[in-house]
Amino acid sequence: MKTRIFVTLLLATIFLAMTLALPAFAQQSSSDSGTQATPAPSADTAREPLPSSTPHDFWDGDDPNLGSLILHPFARKAWVRRQTEPIKDRINELDEITGENANKIKDIDSRSQHGLQLASEKTNLADQHASDASNKAQTANLAATDANTRVSSAEQMVGSLDQYKASTQTEIRFRPGQTLLSKQAKDALDQMAAPLKDQHSYVIEVRGFSPGRGQAAITTSQKMADSVVRYLVLTHNIPVYRIYTVGMGNTPAAGEEGTRHPTHARVEVSLLKNDVLSAQR
């Protein structure tokens, strides 16, 4: 079956080729006969023959013949190149334009990114400055609050410097004409001064009273008070600046009825404390 189809196609091809070749053969025969009948031109009228037309390709419009039909391919590379060359030029031009646009877009994007980065950096710097300013303001506020607290404390302390209250009071009696301390007097002073070790914010008031008159009573009362102060300083290391001594003479003591003068020699020792200053230490 395949052999019959192949033979049929071959015979059809040969027949088609012969059919197309017969007109060309007839045209060539008539041309030759016409040439023989034409007389030769004289020397005077001789001219160059017209150039024959340039043979064209089968696909450019020549009459088909058997050789062209069998040997010529359906499409040559040169023809395809001529047809596709303009298209390639346009494609290359479009590629160049596309490349330029891509570069421009890339450059614009790069500039935009750089601008955004600079704006972000400036924003971060501004935020940092604002945070620093806020921290400094808070520090200044805390410092002002602390200063106000210290000023208030200082005012309170200054106002409380003279607010001493009587804590304990001891009376030391002397025999007439004597200024020496008895054992009973020393024991009373020890009992009062022992708790004052390593304490602050206290003062000791020592007042001497003596019967008699005038300057003699004042001198005697001062000597008795001095003996008490001497014992406190030497025995208990009481600072001198915390002791205030006064020789009252025969002046009536506070709280005594009327204006009765003292009838016996004595020294009143009062311990005064400042509870506010003691609590702040």
Each residue's pLDDT expressed in tens, for the chain with a length of 281 residues: 556 666 566 666 666 656 555 554 444 554 454 444 444 444 444 455 545 555 555 444 445 555 554 555 555 677 777 778 888 888 888 888 998 899 999 889 888 888 898 898 999 999 999 999 999 999 999 999 888 888 887 776 666 556 678 788 899 999 887 888 889 999 999 999 888 888 888 899 999 998 878 888 889 999 999 999 999 999 999 999 999 999 888 887 655 554 556 678 899 999 988 876 555 55
Both 114 and 178 in one domain: the answer is no
Number of domains composing the chain: 2
- Alpha-carbon span 20 to 3, nearest angstrom: 26
Instruction: Report yes or no on 48 lying in a domain.
Output: no
Both 130 and 185 in one domain: the answer is no
- Alpha-carbon span 210 to 229, nearest angstrom: 17
Buried b (16+ CB within 10 A) or exposed e, 208-224: bbbbbeeeebbebbbbb
Both 93 and 152 in one domain: the answer is yes
Both 174 and 249 in one domain: the answer is yes
The per-residue pLDDT for 227 is 93
The per-residue pLDDT for 213 is 82
- Alpha-carbon span 42 to 35, nearest angstrom: 16
pTM of this prediction? 0.43
Q: Which helix (H) or strand (E) holds 246?
A: strand 243-249
Q: Determine contact, residues 69/58, Cβ cutoff 8 Å.
A: yes
Both 274 and 178 in one domain: the answer is yes
Number of neighbouring beta carbons within 10 Å of residue 62: 12
Choose among 213, 225, 222, 219: nearest CA to 171.
225
Q: Determine contact, residues 264/175, Cβ cutoff 8 Å.
A: no
Both 182 and 221 in one domain: the answer is yes
Both 217 and 124 in one domain: the answer is no
The per-residue pLDDT for 72 is 52
The per-residue pLDDT for 205 is 93
The per-residue pLDDT for 25 is 47
pLDDT in tens, 79-108: 777 778 888 888 888 888 998 899 999 889
The per-residue pLDDT for 22 is 52
Ordered alpha helix ranges (H), the chain = 2-37, 66-71, 77-159, 183-193, 214-236, 275-280
Out of 107, 131, 159, a domain closes at 159
The per-residue pLDDT for 229 is 93
227: tokens are 């003996």
The per-residue pLDDT for 250 is 85
The per-residue pLDDT for 38 is 46
Instruction: Report yes or no on 201 lying in a domain.
Output: yes
Which amino acid is located at 264 in the chain?
Answer: H
First CA to last CA across the chain, in angstroms? 130
Both 188 and 132 in one domain: the answer is no
Residue 129 domain boundaries: 64-159
The per-residue pLDDT for 88 is 82
Token pair 């007389």 is found at 39
Instruction: Report yes or no on 9 lying in a domain.
Output: no
Q: What is the CATH number of the domain that holds 213?
A: 3.30.1330.60
